[in-house]
Structure 1
Amino acid sequence: MKVKKLITAEQSRFSAQLFSIASVTATLIPPLLMIWIAASIFVYASIAHHPNPRTAEYNRFSGYRFYGAAGSMMVFGQPIYVLFGNWHGLVAIWAILAIVVVPWGVWSIYKAGHEQWQDMTIEVDTNE
């Protein structure tokens, strides 16, 4: 049996902003960063197949930014850490991640917040 389900404009907008909001928050609060790296996989996957293509697009580009920056730090983090040494190297790695994720993430949140979102109705198959 198929049931119609309403996805409001606010739900689509929030879903489009969610990955960026969490990435910016986790980047600005370093203890949350490791937790967010694990949890982000589930958030990304849950939004990746959103029925609204704009929501999925915002999610995709937020993932590119965060995972690209975090992955780059896996490759270049060790040389940067050795170059600066001690905790200065950790701060340098965190600063590079923050420079990439925070400004573009805030811009993405702002842009999604000012976009015109529409309510949409989808049909959901309920197997009883």
Structure 2
Amino acid sequence: MTFAERQLTSTAPTTSRRRCPPPGAPVGGDDVTMYHRVTLGGRGWWADSAGSRRRPAVGDRVVLGVGVTVLGPVHVGDDASLGAHCLVLHDVPAGARPRAPAAAPVPPPAEAGPAIGPVPFL
């Protein structure tokens, strides 16, 4: 079976008929680990040319961390490990380990007094 022939499908059929993925469904490799809240999807019909692949292709032995979002016709290479809450909009090379940006501390606001004055009780 070629890489393009492997489709992500549900293993639990809801009817007696065989379930087929929709055209342009995300393509998944072998031994892919997906943690919860992972999103694989297209960026929108207006962003892609007619007849082109719209959804991501995931290589073999890929780990998709919690909350990873992979959008558009990108390819995630073999043995890649995407950290939690990454937003992927471009191809990820094989063996890469992209991470989401770390949170930066925000300085406290200057003491300027209350923004709204006291509200009188009527």
TM-score band, normalised by the shorter chain? Answer: under 0.3
TM-score, structure 2 normalization: 0.23
TM-score, structure 1 normalization: 0.22
Higher helix share: 1
Higher strand share: 2
